[in-house]
Amino acid sequence: MDSAKANMRKFVDEFIADFSAEPGSSNQTYQFNTQLFSITKQKQKEEEKEKNYEN
């Protein structure tokens, strides 16, 4: 997982370096987001809720 996070950080840093504009040089602003998080526990909880609901 550390390698994935490092690769994402590198990509974001390179993206910003390649596409950032100098302040005041553009009249458009964009936001770029990346996310990496575990959904394992959430999925397990949802499955448990479904089992409990069925009973």
User: What does the pLDDT read at residue 11?
Assistant: 95
pTM for the model: 0.58
- pLDDT at residue 55, rounded to an integer: 65
On the CB side of 36, CA atoms within 13 Å amount to 10
**Within 13 Å of residue 17, how many CA atoms lie on the same side as its CB?**
6
Q: Residues 7-22: pLDDT tens digits?
A: 999 999 999 999 998 8
Number of domains in the chain: 1
Q: For position 1, what pLDDT does the model report? A: 84
* Spans of the chain, pLDDT less than 50: none
The confidence score (pLDDT) of residue 21 equals 87
pLDDT at position 50, please? 82
